[in-house]
Structure 1
């Protein structure tokens, strides 16, 4: 969507339509007739596997020549940012000749002699449905489609490596490239690229030359070879330049999202669903917390030590006349001497809360930057790169809040707490990714993180993030601890038997079900973008921001309700429970990912399955820490408020 539409969505206005957004960069590349353009090959991806591969490294594609057309652009390998490397991009300039304004009805690129192993590899990749990603002027090559009502055209990034017909595999070794352009008067009538379409075809043309008629050519069938036998695969291409003044350069990415606009009403349904659930929960909180709790506090104060005997007797009689449910909700006053007792494993609790605050800042910043267009599809890898840098520099906030919580627990060794904050959660993520990367390395996939990149990530963690955590911890320890309205007794109060719904596992599962209901519709689009449309982009960040806001509100309210009922049951161990109840929806999200895997994906291979569930589990852990922290902070503020009201009176 454009910037104005994004801002409207963020402010929850009545904008009924959401379209793919693109904010142009600070420099527009323009060309004049006769200028050469580089066609870069990137990677191949498949919806049936989680293993992309570098196109230029495939054993059956036409290799680049030392003095080929692509050599005039300098280095063949394009420098990649950190996010591009982590998402598996491997961009190389090819020898396809693109000259602005010059059509090529059919041009010979070269031959590739392939042995039995290379042919079998090609057959495997074609049968697994791999999609090829090429790039011209920062636009991915696209397959063109029309909407169901045939009113609009839209793009799907990438084109098929080949196809299967009657159990036979055919390789697309000829491509027709259509580049759409328009004049730019503000650039001295030079031309800009507004569209890049690729139409693949399988042909078995004569070796070393281009076929006169592509339509009359038989498709190139891939057949397994025996022994030392080889086969020569010819590669040809056509280039056509089409003027198209219907597309502005600033909106040239919109065609990649036209098809997604058809589902905008579903996004609005997700928002309505989320708002309705949040409103119902808010009403419950208002009734239980504002009416029942305020009446409870009022009765307690009226029957307090400063009241006369008659008033205390009257209040006691009124309390006795209440039903059993009301008796249960007055038990929270009995644990005033234990409610702020530090939790078990407080040395772990504080670092987890610090990491949760750090993640919250990262997510908010990424959603805002994406919704306003600062991070856009043309900036490949920008989302991941910005996320990593925000996480690293967010260590200051992680250390600060972790130490504030730690000092509230009467902790003195702030350096140890800072070290645990910097190592526990980031170390868990880094070690998990490192182990999974071993499996990807074994498959020679382009998503295998190079050793130099691993060293760079390790340097960012230990040499930048860790010192920043210590800086934040230092300032956090200098601040006074949070004061609590009641004193903690020396001996802990014995807790009575808890109702089944307040036991750890049922309370966490039930508490997590409601926040999951808020997001499960939008999860379908997020999962589709991540696991199926690997060459496209999730762009509904305006909607995502609204749903995320409602989700956090829901998590806070459900954590407050659970904490309140625990205190009423004279259970003062609410610290970890408030966090776990807030994080409970992560369990349901992981179950949802399993459902999505079995019903929506057709993934082959145990490595791909392992990567799917492992990365889904990691994502759920990150999500759980984030929303769990929000739940704890809301519960902590609530507990301080209600016990502070009693103390004040």
Structure 2
């Protein structure tokens, strides 16, 4: 029998770019920093304990606790203290039975013997079918297995975690059987201090095996296995361990230590440096081409057309000439008329400012190396807390705009600003969390964490929005550069390409085009359980997005005013915000071309979370476009003389 046919199939490598955590030093970003302030030195003989994390699968997106399967358990399971981000991500870090001494090799250490009942065997089979991976941690480093790149290059990469098991033919049977990886060969790399005997762990690898261990007499205190003994080179030339009801499974492991030239400060590089940076720079080039094109159009409008318009309008001397006003000057008496649903626009703008502040500060912190991959869940925690504290600026922006529209009930506007977006987000999140809880997944957010989120919302975010609104409404109202007529002007028939729906949909294409390549890597990092760390490039793409949203909105707003349509308030917001529609459509394309999700609940989770992301992106880009157009309109009408 060809035993190689029973080995685990090679993992399908998705784009090797990571979960949204921390920068690396090798791409121009600041050096990452460990979350621990104290560097732990390891002496020979120091006891090391492997910690276990969640079981994860890109096929289901439903994490499970490690001990959901019938693995060997320590006498007392202890949970590590987890931050808010780790809980929201579904991380469950616990102690394990895998312990060894620093720089002391072990061969075939027996962990325990378990007997699979019907439920345990079923759970193992289901997790093997769904390609679940086991995640472990040693000295804050995640366990990884070596793999080959998808592009066929000879260099190796790290893949996070190892498969629970695999399926294959057994003893010539045409029916596929399930096999469990019950033997783990750990390899720990360490960097030795040249002057002392101290050493620090810089790598943690594993090679999983499936071995049907045999023994004559089971001695609980000192088990002796016929298939596993010291210095044996035939340890892996045995039959694999089948998963079946009433089947006995013996879990074992090896440990080997290898000295490495990798320094402790660079130990995360192997986990992060997995990608071809040329693709990211191509993303930058693509985005810059769009920005240069739009900047050229804006420059042409500003320096030629707009400058000529202002000069001509200001040269009009006689009353007869003044009556012949055309173009955007003709609607000067209506251009600052408050729009329909002005209160809703104020709420959306205030929320967009809050999201913008959160996004900008998160990227700055990431660039400074404060959100390293060693600080698990740090990015998610930072985003939640920053969004809460940015409520001050959201309330201020909403109130300033509300007062400009002559709004009087600022307290009601404040409550809507503080509750509208979070309520929608929380409602969707609550439904999705209920579905996760129904699947008995560890990804379900506990009640205590839910209460903490609500507490942050009501006790910090809402009061800060109120304080910001109070300060904003207390200031003098923003004065319009021209007076508004009492009677609204009739808007003439518009060309088909200037219809609101058409211009709004056209306006969202270019901002989306500026980011869609980098968006692929972000989606891959979120849904493929990988690290994303190139925040330098991401920050450049974010700046390009800002410029693109502002410029496309200004260009289309100018064309709209030239066609004597003065309803620009909502149009400006929707023009840039429509890029969120393309983002959601791209997420649908990504789902059917890259994801392997087959379960209904997993599909609902994917589209539910992408709906939240798209809605937040709509508020962010819409606010950018609105403020750009607001500045542009005020600037051009302040430059023209009116009677």
In the superposition, the TM-score normalised over structure 2's length comes to 0.90
Shift of 1:441: 0.6
SS state of the match for residue 234, structure 1?
strand
**Aligned equivalents of 1:368 and 1:145: distance in 2?**
33
What do the CA deviations read for 1:194-236 (whole angstroms, capped 9, x no partner)? 000011101110365442342232111223x4xxxx2222111
Aligned twin of 1:202: 210
Aligned to 1:501: 497
CA contact (8 A) 2:24 2:269 kept: no
Unaligned runs of 5+ in 1: 10-14, 67-74, 320-329
Kept in 1: contact 2:29–2:535 (CA 8 A)? no
Q: Which whole-Å CA distance do the structure 1 matches of 2:242 and 2:116 have between them?
A: 13
Distance in 1 (alpha carbons) for counterparts of 2:394 and 2:198: 50
Structure 2 stretches of 5 or more lacking a match?
1-16, 170-175
Distance 2:213 2:495 in 1: 77
How big is the shift at 1:309? 7.4
- Contact 2:53 2:135 (8 Å CA) reproduced: yes
Contact 1:41 1:94 in 2 (8 A): yes
In 1, Cα distance between the equivalents of 2:68 and 2:593? Answer: 33
SS at match of 1:603: coil
- State the match for 1:403 in structure 2: 399
- Which residue among 227, 240, 248 is the counterpart of 2:263? 248
**Aligned partners of 1:20 and 1:253 also within 8 Å:** no
Residues 1:614 and 1:522: Cα distance change in structure 2 (over 3 Å): same
Query: 1:183·1:192 contact (CA, 8 Å) conserved in 2?
Result: yes
1:18 CA displacement: 5.9
- Asked whether 1:50 is paired with 2:46, we answer no
Residues 20 and 604 from structure 1, CA distance in 2 versus in 1: closer, same or farther, beyond 3 angstroms?
A: farther
Per-residue deviation, 1:515: 1.0
1:257 deviates by 2.1
For 2:473, which of 477, 486, 490 is the aligned residue?
A: 477
For residue 160 of structure 2, what is the aligned residue in structure 1?
157
Deviation at 1:152, TM superposition (A): 4.3
Post-superposition Cα deviations, 1:313-364, rounded to whole Å, max 9, x if no partner, equal 9x96xx9xxxxxxxxxx42112111111111111111111011111111111
Write the mapping of 1:447-526 to structure 2, written as runs, cut at 5 A.
Answer: 447-526=443-522
Equivalent in 302, 312, 315 of residue 289 of structure 1: 302
Residue equivalent to 1:275? 288
Q: Aligned runs of 1:19-418 on 2, under 5 Å? A: 22-25=32-35, 26-58=37-69, 60-66=70-76, 76-145=78-147, 152-166=155-169, 167-184=176-193, 188-206=196-214, 209=223, 210=225, 211-212=228-229, 213-223=234-244, 225=245, 230-244=246-260, 246-260=261-275, 263-303=276-316, 307-308=317-318, 312=321, 330-418=326-414
For the pair 1:580 / 2:596, whether they are aligned, the reply is no
Q: For 1:614 and 1:622, locate their aligned partners in 2 and report how far apart those are by CA, in whole Å.
A: 13
Q: CA deviation at 1:153?
A: 4.0
Aligned-residue offset at 1:457: 0.5
Deviation, structure 1 residue 163: 1.5
User: Which structure: greater helix fraction?
Assistant: 1
**Aligned partners of 1:599 and 1:294: how far apart in 2?**
49
Residues 1:463 and 1:601: Cα distance change in structure 2 (over 3 Å): same
Once the 2 structures are TM-superposed, how far is the Cα of residue 56 of structure 1 from its aligned partner? 2.0
Alpha-carbon contact 2:23-2:533 (below 8 Å) kept = no
Shift of 1:400: 0.7
Q: What do residues 455-512 of structure 1 show as CA deviations (whole Å, max 9, x unaligned)?
A: 1101110111101111111111111111110111111112122222222221121110
- Relative to structure 1, is the Cα distance of residues 528 and 202 closer, same or farther in structure 2, using a 3 angstrom cutoff? same
- Secondary structure of 1:646's partner? coil
Answer yes or no: is the 8 Å Cα contact 1:43–1:133 preserved in 2. Answer: yes
Q: Please give the alpha-carbon distance, in whole angstroms, between the structure 2 residues aligned to 1:296 and 1:399.
A: 37
Q: Which one of the candidate residues 595, 616, 619 is aligned to 2:613?
A: 619
Deviations 1:601-640 (A, max 9, x none): 1112011111111111110111110011000000000000
**1:575–1:43 CA distance, 2 compared to 1 (3 A):** same
The match for 1:323 is none
TM score, norm. by length of structure 1: 0.89
1:514 positional shift: 0.9
Instruction: Report the equivalent of 1:72.
Output: none
* Whole-angstrom CA distance in 2 between matches of 1:497 and 1:233: 78
Instruction: Please tell me whether residue 632 in structure 1 is matched to residue 626 in structure 2.
Output: yes
Name the residue aligned to 2:13: none
After superposition, the C-alpha distances for 1:231-265 in whole angstroms (9 at most, x for unaligned) are 22211111111111x201011000012321xx211
Which deviates more from structure 2 when the two are superposed, residues 205-214 or residues 369-378? 205-214
Choose between structure 1 and 2 for higher RCO, CA contacts under 8 A separated by at least 6 residues: 2
CA distance in 2, matches of 1:20, 1:644: 44
- SS in structure 2 at match of 1:273: helix
The aligned length equals 602
- CA distance in 2 between counterparts of 1:78 and 1:421 reads 37
Question: In 2, Cα distance between the equivalents of 1:400 and 1:185?
Answer: 58
Tell me, yes or no, if the aligned pair for 2:343 and 2:413 is still in contact at 8 Å. yes
CA RMSD of aligned residues (A): 2.3
1:113 touches 1:233 (CA, 8 Å); kept in 2?
yes
Deviation at 1:84, TM superposition (A): 0.2
